[in-house]
Structure 1
Amino acid sequence: MAHELNPDGRRTVPGATVPPGWTAITVPPVPEGKRSGWRRTVDAAEPGATGTEALPGNWLTPGDAVALPAGTVLLLADKAATGTDHAYQTARAYTTEDATVRAELLTSNGTLTLLWGPQHFRRSSTALGKTVTTALARLLEQHPAPGQDREPIVLAEAQRPNRRKARCWRCARPAARGTGHLVGHGAEAQTEHWPTCPAPGTPDASELPQPRRRPGCDNCDRSGRSHEAVDSSGIPGRVCGRCSGMPSYLLSFA
């Protein structure tokens, strides 16, 4: 399927429009320096409960252009790495994260007004804990949701790169790590090519031959890998400053 990219690099969703009484906004992106983040509309809240079940709503992708009803309450969390720990049962190392959470109100002129926070949590797992659900319940008493079961309309998508090699759900061809786009969330997320599927006969980056793994230049083995290059066989790699000035037909990374 063909898609149109906006000048800002987002992909326009064909046929998506802003309904009367709704407002178009850009979902706040994850700030620079933060490891990850999430955004969610909140239609209701169960004080004292935890998890997404206590906060019915819809996930939003940072950077997307979306249409939402004015008066929608958004919950936003930004996470940063704080260190490493080990799982109790498997002893496998994992990255620990904190979370900074805030709630904002979408006004009729398309701006977001801060309602609560920013509240810092030492563990990202508590970003949907009792403190947050209780605060959201109070906020929704003052700012009732404009209507439940009204899903956001995505007008233009920002890329959510795939973290591992996967097959595109559209064309069934592989998409290299970081070059595709995730559709959906959690275990149900699927990968598709970005911005479009490669033309028949055109290889994806994951289907190209790869250079031998070496610590230095892929062409001469000297120290230095600061320049991207493609060798005479079409293999992409990294080379030193001396080899960066050589034509492709003289380079060999295999």
Structure 2
Amino acid sequence: MAGGVETTFVVSPPRPEGAVKSWRRMIKAVDPGQKGAFALDGKFLEPGIAYAVSTGAVVVTVDEYPEHRQVVMARVGVAGLETEKEWALKAPLGKRVTDFIGRRLPARAAAHIAVRMDAVPNGFAGWCALCRNEVAARAGRLIAVDGYERKRPAHLVGACLPPPPPPEVIAPNRRAEPCLLCGMWVYAGDGVARLLTSPEVVTGARYRAAHTACPPDGTPGPANREAGWCGLCQQPVPAGAGYWDIDEREVRHRPGRCPAPEPEQVWWARRPKGEPWLRAGEVRRVQVDLRPARFGRAVPDNDPVPATVAGFRVLSPTYIELVARVLECSEDGRRQWARVRAATGAEAVELLAAEGAREAEAEPAGSLLRGSFSAEVLGGVKPWLAEITGRDPEFGWERAFQTAHVDYTNSNRKGTRGAVYHWSLKPNRVYESEYPLSRTRSVREYLMVDADGDLRTISTEEVIAWLNSGPTWPAH
């Protein structure tokens, strides 16, 4: 009995000698809409293999020879297969034979079963899913394993061998990590993987990478791809000349190669957005951010700036301005960082004199007349206007965006073309504006109102002069 159905153990007829092709099938139904062997529906039986087949089931065997086909229709009886009809055909299986088989199928033929009694052999060589030793092709079986959609090869029952010991060394190493022997960095494929005495506690890894021959000048981490400043000595490290410390997440010189400390105090300044690029050797007014390093910052923290340096000015509690000489520059995409030192009196005198002249000219307007500024929307690009109220370490300026009065008299329905934005500008203020010239071009400029209430464009240097002078005006 199998699944509540009475069965008989039968051996599928083996392929006879001289046959070119053979197949056996337990028939469940005959499809009148198909022709020849395609009309026979059922389960194929492998020649010479034992099956538990439902008693009374019909089994058709076909053996093709060079000159004819031998077709046998047999029924599963209590003692095994019993032949009911034989045909010797010169042509492929025809409708006469399939109709004959269909008329003699039992009423419950669709419920008949055929269960293979021995395991399905593995068609290809592989590794045993149970003992991890090699299994030759067709020398084992296929078994279901959790986590795999297809069955995996395994030895026959009782034929498994003790699991092989893991190899001491695997070449090459697949992972890049510090060397097991010397602690220096090993790139993937440049060394070997060595077996550990016990798995690592955190990762459970059983192997660690190691050099085939440990180098005398290795580094504890991978080479730095970009230039930066050493986290130990805070000196510049060219790209590829140091390494990246994975634990501290910073660039460092090779072990023992940090240069002597700087003879004078240095700071790291970031080029504000919109200002010219910094160049090594030039004297510039720079801004130093004293806030602790944040995610994405490429330089170490800055030390406090003494008030005695040239051009010292407090922009905010953590944002200091000074006149400095640029020592080194480093670009990080659109951002630029510079290592600077305070300029000497001789170096800063020319720049400070020019700034003093501009600040002397930045006098408040005697009139309190307001000015007006207008710009039109083009191609969906809207203009904007903002009052500049100070300096910002991230964006260059602190801005207070102004609300506009919009005139839609000549605009389209969506307001993406023809709408005109109007602003009223106060005297003794500096403004920044941006407005479109076309769909793809825009203009950004600085504006202020003169004594007659007229609008004029000013430079970045004039904006800075007005910001520096404005707090000293009583009426500002």
Shorter-chain TM band: 0.3 to 0.5
* TM-score (ref. length: structure 2): 0.27
* TM-score (ref. length: structure 1): 0.46
**Higher gyration radius (CA):** 2
Higher-RCO chain (CA-CA 8 Å, sequence separation at least 6): 1
